[in-house]
Amino acid sequence: MRFDVLTLFPDLIRQAMGVGVVGRALETGKIALDCWNPRDYAHDNYRTVDGRPYGGGPGMVFMIEPLRRALFAAKERSGAAPCVLLSPQGRRFDQDRARQWAQLPGLLLICGRYEGVDQRFVDRYVDEEISIGDFVVSGGELPALTITDAVTRLLPGVLHTDASAIEDSFMDGVLDCPHYTRPELADEGAVPAVLLSGNHSMIAAWRRKQSLGATWLRRPDLLGKLQLNKVDQRLLIEFINEHRSKIGVQ
């Protein structure tokens, strides 16, 4: 899978994507990355990429020309990849969208800066605006890195055991279970005994119960979307009863 990223900060993208799971995916050729810097396509002496806003107001606006030239150069490499602008106004990115995009041959991500991108560029070239949350950051780069990471993890062979991707939060609609490693006994507490039991069915049931319980406590909206089977219903009721007795609620 190809990622083509339009950004004024290609080093940020390359360095962040050069480490960890995504870095290994790049090294092994499971993904490819090209960055396209609109400043390289600004042909005036000052390599201008921003302009004052028509109608007045604070800040500057990302100009069409350098963006268009960078986009056209990227499209020669990326072909018909969807063109996505990272924006707080966009549709919310989620795991379903990550799964969908992991099936594509490529993705073209546009990282805005300044006060935003000239609307005529958005209207003409952007297929979709995508948000990773209801907040504003300094540029589209960090949201773009979030998306490339979430999508790359889902590509075949990227994670050592694809099961770990399946058990990741949101892969089956519930939050993740707690994780523990050595030491068995620390100042901060002990590892839950069930995890030391070697009884894999009990461990699996305990983990499922913790996932369902965490989802009930923190993200009841996700729980509302699930059709829990009888086993899950029993596990969740067990968790709720244990939780309520722990906090002294009848």
Asked whether position 143 contacts ligand 9WO by CB under 6 A, the answer is yes
Q: Which two three-digit tokens encode residue 162?
A: 């694809």
Residue pointed to by tokens 């369902």: 212
Smallest distance from ligand 9WO to CB 236, Å: 32
Asked whether position 193 contacts ligand 9WO by CB under 6 A, the answer is no
Smallest distance from ligand 9WO to CB 92, Å: 9
Q: Which of left, alpha, beta for 247 (phi over 0: left; psi -120 to 50: alpha)?
A: alpha
Tell which one of 113, 153, 207, 209 touches ligand 9WO (CB under 6 A): 113
**Distance between CA atoms of residues 120 and 35, nearest Å:** 22
Catalytic residue among 53, 82, 88, 192: 88
Tell which one of 105, 133, 178, 183 touches ligand 9WO (CB under 6 A): 133
Residue 126 and residue 110 in contact, taking contact as beta carbons nearer than 8 Å: yes
**Where in the chain does DSSP place strands (E)?**
2-6, 32-36, 50-51, 61-62, 83-92, 106-111, 128-131, 185-186, 189-190
Tell which one of 51, 53, 82, 116 touches ligand 9WO (CB under 6 A): 116
Asked whether position 137 contacts ligand 9WO by CB under 6 A, the answer is yes
**Distance between CA atoms of residues 69 and 114, nearest Å:** 19
Smallest distance from ligand 9WO to CB 131, Å: 4
Asked whether position 169 contacts ligand 9WO by CB under 6 A, the answer is no
Q: Which two three-digit tokens encode residue 222?
A: 């996700």
Asked whether position 209 contacts ligand 9WO by CB under 6 A, the answer is no
Asked whether position 89 contacts ligand 9WO by CB under 6 A, the answer is yes
Residue 2 and residue 78 in contact, taking contact as beta carbons nearer than 8 Å: yes
Catalytic residue status for 39: no
Catalytic residue status for 88: yes
Asked whether position 66 contacts ligand 9WO by CB under 6 A, the answer is no
The pair phi, psi for residue 108, each rounded to 5°, is -115, 115
Tell which one of 10, 106, 112, 213 touches ligand 9WO (CB under 6 A): 112
Catalytic residue among 40, 65, 168, 176: 168
Residue 29: C-alpha distances to residues 9, 23, 24, 158, 177 (Å) = 23, 10, 8, 10, 32
Residue pointed to by tokens 């406590």: 217
Query: Which residue of this chain has its Cβ atom nearest to ligand 9WO in the complex?
Result: 112
Asked whether position 192 contacts ligand 9WO by CB under 6 A, the answer is no
Query: Which window, 66-74, 87-95, 176-184, 197-205, contacts ligand 9WO (CB under 6 A)?
Result: 87-95
Residue 133: C-alpha distances to residues 27, 94, 149 (Å) = 30, 10, 16
Catalytic residue status for 134: no
Write out the catalytic residue numbers. Answer: 88, 115, 153, 168
User: Under the rule (CB under 6 A), what is the footprint of ligand 9WO?
Assistant: 86-89, 112-114, 116, 131-133, 136-140, 143
